[in-house]
Structure 1
Amino acid sequence: MSMTRMRTRSQVPLTERNEDVIAKQEVQRKKALVDTAPFIKYPGKIVYSTDFTSIAENCAKLLDKANKTEDLFILGFDIEWPFSFQTGSGKASVVQISPNLDICYVLQVSSSNKLPKALTELLCHDKVRLTGICVKNDVRKLHRDFPGFDVDKAVDNCIDLGVMANTVAGFTQRWSLEKLVLHFFEMRISKDKAVRMSKWHVAPLSEAQQVYAALDAYASLKLYHHIKQEQDNQVDDEDQENQEMDIN
């Protein structure tokens, strides 16, 4: 007979059993949130532009802020493009940029053959960081459709929320924006197929399209700030533990 036997339930300490029950209850609660959690809403202003000149002017404003900031200039970032099961992915059509949680620039670039210089300079600016889910792929997609900027520099400026989340979540997985919003905010983000699969290249965008686009960039920036705070808290906790060990 093996000298090692499995512990019976009565042999497991009560505190350990309670922790196990609590953990299972938490798992069930999280699963229920998929269908019951409230939807995150976009609370800010949307600045929507479609022509080359207005897009360039709005990007120049952001570029001016980047030049003046002493710290990193974090931008919630996302792009949209039309998709067809017959023809596949279309050209990048909309660029969404949230410099803060109160405003989002929705830039419909589908009618242009090139991106404004102010936009490409913004993407590659030393102090700019673009944050989102799979954001590097978005930047590469934008470059494939609109060559003419330093894609390697722009990719270096990207901060992927999935990578950040894996440092604080307590487990690792491949994250979507929906999963991130659910995990960290216990909310859902609308991914209405009718809007998601809509004609992003056709101007003007409907109000539903504009809100959908703005929400992705807004949620990305909000998640960045939340996860960054959790990372900072982890560092503070580790520093406190090290100080206590040094004292002992």
Structure 2
Amino acid sequence: MSKKRHLPDWMVLCKSRKMEEMQEEVNQKNDEKVQKRKEDIIKQKNAKFDKALQSAKQKFKEEKKEAASQVFEQIMNEQTKEIKFEGKLIYSSHTNDCNMLCEDIEMALCDSTEAFVGFDMEWPVSYKVGKEDKTALIQICTAPDTCYLFHISCMGSIPSNLKSLLLNKHIKKVGVNIESDIWKLERDYDIHVIDIIKNSMDDIGVLANKILGCNEHWSLEGLVKHLFNHKINKDPILRKGDWSKYPLSEEQKLYAATDAYVSYKVYEKLVNKQSSDLENIIIGLRRAIIYLCNQKNRVIVGAASNEKEEDKLKGVVIVMDQDGNHEKVYGEDQTKDISFTLPWKVTATNNANIFVIDNSGHEVEGRVVVLGQEDIINTAINSEDKHFAPSYFTTTPADNVVVFDSENCFLHVLNSSGNLITYISTKDKEIKAKLYKLNLVDCKYRKTYY
């Protein structure tokens, strides 16, 4: 039997020491893991706390902002005057009565070249998915003090004269989102509305964007606030009420009439602003000639400002679109050698060239200038050896321009580029007689031609 070997004491001590070191290393790693886990847990808790705190701060800020906004809105609403219809309100619920009223409306408005009416509709709100109740009420405001309410749900259909009024292309219907209302009318009743949409309808929201130079989705309430600094009643109980029930309450009548009245006033305000903006373009001008060009619906204005350069008038020719925006200004940039003294007459040819009679300021001196897209392309009939006094011109169906020279008694015929084709003496008795009939002949006094 072999004898068991015993390690020397120093080796046992070394082994024991090694085991202790290894155990310490394992314990240390475990402690580090535990510590790291604790730190991660603390970090997670801190992150959650920070997130919750940030969220609470943001929520508090938003609530505070919302509360301030509500207070501000309340103050503004209290201070903002409510606009209401206060004129004559005509309520009709019978077919015969409606027909007579609509006939009167058409007769009253037929003489106006720019007749328009404020238009709106009401119907009961349905809470069933896919179901929409029929139009119950049509509101028409014909003047700031007159509004008609036609309760067509009581009539069963649209009376013939009301249909005629709606289809009348000479009477424009105006309102916010009016096109969708008009289409609903076709879905609800036997009326074809495509002619209304094409010929006699104007969405005042679209018109507002065009005139105000913005791109907003306007509501009637928003337009009233923006243009008049007023508010209108949009009580949800009234708005969602039963509009088919007869008779309407006084509150319903006032609510409905106000919507049509406000549409009328908003359209009137926008159209007046458009006219005012166009008038402001020529404020400060000594004399202005306005020519309406069929091409691209342009407006050409020839004018002289009150400012003078070296004791001479400074003239310009302005090409504008139908909204009054300047497309081109000739004579403003002197570096292009385009200058005018007093643009006297303006016309245009089909190739978009502009003809200008420019008066030099003397009684019997002037020139005809032909303008292209950029610069002067021709100075037609600009004689230096004798006086040239163009007093009138016109464009012919053949796109030629006939210029009348009052000093020398000649008709000059130009092509659309301003080149001389021929000239005719107006001293001939027959020609002179025809010119007298047109009030064009008086070689002594130019002012008689205008």
Please classify the TM superposition score into its range, dividing by the shorter chain length. 0.7 to 0.9
Of 12, 30, 39, the match for 2:82: 39
The change in CA–CA distance for 1:107 and 1:207 in structure 2 (over 3 A counts) is same
Aligned-pair CA distance for 1:65: 2.0
Of 158, 178, 181, the match for 2:201: 158
For 2:98 and 2:235, how far apart are their aligned partners in 1? 27
In structure 2, what is the equivalent of residue 129 of structure 1? 172
Alpha-carbon displacement from aligned partner over 1:36-60 (angstroms, at most 9, x marks no partner): 4111121101100111111112111
Aligned-pair CA distance for 1:33: 4.0
Match of 2:244, SS? Answer: coil
Query: In structure 1, what residue type is equivalent to 2:262?
Result: A
Which structure's CA Rg is the greater one? 2
For 2:168 and 2:75, how far apart are their aligned partners in 1? 42
Unpaired segments of 5 or more residues in structure 1? 1-28
Bigger drift between 233-242 and 219-228 goes to 233-242
Aligned-pair CA distance for 1:167: 2.2
In structure 2, what is the equivalent of residue 9 of structure 1? none
Partners of 2:137 and 2:243 within 8 A in 1: yes
Of 164, 178, 189, the match for 1:146: 189
Alpha-carbon displacement from aligned partner over 1:96-137 (angstroms, at most 9, x marks no partner): 001101110001000233211111111111211000101111
Q: Which has the higher strand share?
A: 2
Alpha-carbon displacement from aligned partner over 1:172-209 (angstroms, at most 9, x marks no partner): 20100000000000000110111101100010000000
Partners of 2:123 and 2:136 within 8 A in 1: yes
The TM-score normalised by the length of structure 1 is 0.81
* CA root-mean-square deviation: 2.2
In structure 1, what is the equivalent of residue 113 of structure 2? 71
Q: Which has the higher helix share?
A: 1
Indicate whether 1:48 and 2:48 are aligned.
no
Aligned-pair CA distance for 1:239: 4.1
For 2:210 and 2:279, how far apart are their aligned partners in 1? 15
In structure 2, what is the equivalent of residue 16 of structure 1? none
The change in CA–CA distance for 1:111 and 1:209 in structure 2 (over 3 A counts) is same
In structure 1, what is the equivalent of residue 252 of structure 2? 209
Query: In structure 2, what residue type is equivalent to 1:75?
Result: V
In structure 1, what is the equivalent of residue 413 of structure 2? none
Q: Percent identity?
A: 30
For 1:30 and 1:75, how far apart are their aligned partners in 2? 32
Query: In structure 2, what residue type is equivalent to 1:175?
Result: W
Of 210, 214, 230, the match for 1:171: 214
In structure 1, what is the equivalent of residue 8 of structure 2? none
Indicate whether 1:62 and 2:105 are aligned.
yes
For 1:99 and 1:235, how far apart are their aligned partners in 2? 26
Indicate whether 1:238 and 2:281 are aligned.
yes
Indicate whether 1:194 and 2:215 are aligned.
no
In structure 1, what is the equivalent of residue 261 of structure 2? 218
Partners of 1:133 and 1:176 within 8 A in 2: yes
Bigger drift between 174-183 and 226-235 goes to 226-235
Aligned-pair CA distance for 1:140: 1.1
Partners of 2:119 and 2:175 within 8 A in 1: yes
